[in-house]
């Protein structure tokens, strides 16, 4: 494959940034969920 570095970097940055965003979201959700009672979470 030609230009493999640029192509791999494109895929790596795409998947990596989405993973980081997902992990930060889940961590924030867990931190906040501990301080809020379940009755205030309409999705449960």
Partner 1 sequence: MTTITTNSSRSTGTRATRVLGVVAIVLMTWVVVSGLFVTPADAVQLDSVRIMYVHVPSAWIAYLAFITTGIASGISVVRRHRSLGFDRVAGASAEVGVLFMAITLVTGSLWGRLTWGTFWQWDPRLTTTAFLFVTYVGYLAIRRLDATPQQRARRSSILALLAVLEIPLVHFSVVLWRSLHQEASVLNTDGDVRLDGLMLFTLFSGVLAFSAAFAWFVIHRQRVAALDDLRLTSGLDAALVERRAEAVTQ
Cα gap 13→37, rounded to integer Å:
37
Contact 44, 38 (CB under 8 A): yes
Min separation Cβ 4 and partner 1, Å: 8
Cα gap 38→9, rounded to integer Å:
42
Collapsed DSSP state (helix, strand, coil) of residue 43: coil
Site for partner 1 in 1-44 (CB under 8 A): 1-4, 6-7, 9-11, 13-15, 17-18, 21-22, 25-26, 28-30, 32-36, 38, 40-41, 43-44
Q: List contacts with partner 1 (CB under 8 A).
A: 1-4, 6-7, 9-11, 13-15, 17-18, 21-22, 25-26, 28-30, 32-36, 38, 40-41, 43-44
């Amino acid at each position: 494959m030609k230009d493999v570095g640029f192509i791999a970097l494109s895929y790596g940055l795409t998947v990596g940034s989405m993973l980081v965003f997902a992990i930060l979201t889940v961590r924030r959700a867990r931190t906040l969920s501990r301080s809020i009672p379940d009755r205030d979470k309409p999705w449960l």
